Amino acid sequence: MFFKQVTAAGAVLLFTACGPEASTGPAVVELDSQTQSGPCEGCDPLGDSAESLVNGIFWPIPTYTGPYILFYEDNFCTGDSFAAAVTPDPLVAPSNPILIPDESSHRIGLAGWKNDEARSMKLIRWPAGVRVRVCDSPSCATNDDWTDYRFKVYTPEQCIHTFEPLPPYYDPEYGWVTTTQHLSPFRDTYWHYVNGLDGKVSKILIESNP
């Protein structure tokens, strides 16, 4: 079943140039729009079509070891995983971030993206020193909802259950406190909440921690 899917997709894969100076990571691949939105017939051995696309994108490299993101239609990384984004090198300068979905510099492979759909995401094999910003605005305008995730350590696998802040909590000294950030030894999260981000994600920026 897996081989059947790869064969069907192979005709439309576009590989980036890979000269002598190219990095040793796997080539980034773009799928055309038809493939991005098309069904993943016969490629769902694990019940997760986007994960299968990750494997299919880098075929015939059988074991892709770079970082990638899976996007889910529901919170807690449940429901359909409708899209996958893969990149060999997420440590890009803040002045030139990787853009999802409209990256034009062939630094990311993306399949299955839908606007205003994601409610959670699974981050797999992300290095320390990366910031991922999830935005409601298609231009990541800061007057709408956005959330930052700043990775302090290597993250083998982590589900971001929601893009929205934790509920306000009651502090005996200060009363009800609205959550705007969550700092941890592993990953700091900063929320800019306006009217909701789950199911409204339109743009993602990936860059080195500014």
In the complex with Ca ion, which residue's Cβ is closer, 126 or 163? 163
Distance of closest approach, residue 135 Cβ to Ca ion, in angstroms:
8
In the complex with Ca ion, which residue's Cβ is closer, 138 or 168? 138
Q: Under rule CB under 5 A, how many of the chain's residues touch Ca ion? A: 6
The structure tokens 């839908």 sit at: 114
122 contacts: CB under 8 Å, gap ≥ 6: 69, 70, 72, 77, 81, 157, 158, 159, 160
In the complex with Ca ion, which residue's Cβ is closer, 48 or 145? 145
Can you tell me the distance from the alpha carbon of 93 to that of 207, in angstroms, rounded to the nearest whole number?
6
Distance of closest approach, residue 48 Cβ to Ca ion, in angstroms:
24
Distance of closest approach, residue 112 Cβ to Ca ion, in angstroms:
17
Can you tell me the distance from the alpha carbon of 96 to that of 110, in angstroms, rounded to the nearest whole number?
18
Q: Taking CB positions, which residue lies at the least distance from Ca ion?
A: 202
In the complex with Ca ion, which residue's Cβ is closer, 107 or 200? 200
User: Of 138-197, which residues contact Ca ion (CB under 5 A)?
Assistant: 145, 195
Q: Between 5 and 44, how does the x/- string for binding to Ca ion read (CB under 5 A)?
A: ----------------------------------------
In the complex with Ca ion, which residue's Cβ is closer, 41 or 116? 116
Distance of closest approach, residue 134 Cβ to Ca ion, in angstroms:
10
Q: Would you count residue 202 as binding Ca ion (CB under 5 A)? A: yes
Q: Between 108 and 147, how does the x/- string for binding to Ca ion read (CB under 5 A)?
A: --------x-------------------x--------x--
Distance of closest approach, residue 49 Cβ to Ca ion, in angstroms:
23
Interface residues with Ca ion (CB under 5 A) are: 116, 136, 145, 195, 200, 202
